[in-house]
Structure 1
Amino acid sequence: MSNKLMTQKYITMLDGKKIPQIGLGVWQATNDETERAVTTAFEAGYRSIDTATVYENEKGVGAAIKSSVLNRKEMFITTKLWNPEHNNVRGAINKSLELLELDYVDSYLIHWPAPSQNLYVSAWEELIRAQEDGLVRSIGVSNFLPEHIERILKETGVKPTINQIELHPLLSQKEITQWCTNQGIKVQAWSPLAQGGEGIFKHKDIIKIANHYGKSPAQVVLRWHIQNNIIAIPKSVTPSRIIENFNVFDFELTLDDLTIIDNLNQNKRLGPHPLEFE
């Protein structure tokens, strides 16, 4: 297998900055679990870590960063603005930086549009200012629909670099993915493994593909993301799974494999709908 397939892949965002295509998510992990998981991830080759204010584990991420031998410039750290902080963006960013013990984050996202609050445009304006001030390198959104992105673009003229959405074989999100791609916005998948498989890992076709390549069902699903040009942030606090989830750069799925996985789509959300979640 070529060396090209053996190493982490990076995607260039519209602001010219590069983001690793596989990162570690730390949703629902305690600070101690997070510190251990991030340390394991760094040692396994991960360079991208995705956290958020609402996860309440930024301190654990910060502790792992501080104890790491890696150069800060090698890391790509993402955190997010929680819904009640749409009118306190600068305060939220400063709090995150304090907990992470960082001078800047590589990516800062508005976690949800929370449309009934009607504050996501003003929050976006504050993100733009925070970027200008060097507190964040890239700015993006999470769980935004095209209508939300069109509005911030119309009112500010600044596109998000990323839209992080729920995306997995049961919810392939082809329409919004294509829309974002047409806009030059990169799509990042949260729950890329459908929260631990949700029946996918036991599906006969996934097992057949996995057996063919000598890989696990999780690795096959992550490879599907990679070949669809999606950025994936699988969450795990189990060292063996953290390592396994990163070991997806030494094989390639065929077009038939990709189609089989595409056909698993049920438009099934495991998380809330962006229009309803506040």
Structure 2
Amino acid sequence: MALDTTTVEKWGQKLLTAYREGPIDPLSAVLPEATIEDAYAIQTWQIRARVAQGDRVVGHKIGLTSRAMQTMLGVNQPDYGRVMASMIWDAAEQVTARLWQPKVEPELAFILARPLAGDTVGIQDVLDATQYVCPALEVIDSRIRDWRIGLIDTVADNASSGGVVLGAPVTPAKAGDLAALGVTLWKNGRVEQNGSGAAVLGHPALAVAWLARAVSAFGERLEAGHIILSGSATAAVTVEPGDLVRATVEGLGTVSAYFAPAR
């Protein structure tokens, strides 16, 4: 790590404040010496602060799972953030959370039946440890102004997390080949994007395996009962108040989110 604990805390607090007050300039522009380890330390500081305020970690989200996004940010692997209880939104209710520059992504979510850990986790290990999979709409948002993010920025900002709406759960055996599942993203009744499970690192379970190995390097594991968002199957789509978004995952079903109109 290049940053001291005081700097990590300072930027963790800046990003937490940005949830309430609005996006800030990229920290990578101010801290060019910051490493990926520093970025995860800033993220972890925020997570601990949120837990201290009564929130709790209920899973992880994986980002940068498409080659296009990796190329854009000049990286060759995904990143991850934590999913908090406050980020799980009920599909039956309007999305009313304060969001600054939201976009939506259709994903496959994994709900684990048992922990996953270690540096040798593979696809079959993930499938064996999974209780359910379900369609999901992840709402990404950035506390970095105008989405001017590099890898350090998005990692420090909890992988540009916003919230998630989950669809009905299905067992992995019933879901079939997750890589082959077609995915469609609709906005206000119009098809915006088409993709498939294969767009997520070739197989969504491979992304989860990567995550298990990645957190193991920090002495952590994926816990039983946790929700893992495996990464977007299509490009993200910008949303605004009043939009109705729907994702359909072949063989899994549909999940929708309605963004409350501006007042």
Q: How would you bin the TM-score normalised by the shorter chain?
A: under 0.3
TM-score (normalised: structure 2): 0.25
> Which structure has greater strand proportion?
2
> Which structure has greater helix proportion?
1
TM-score (normalised: structure 1): 0.24
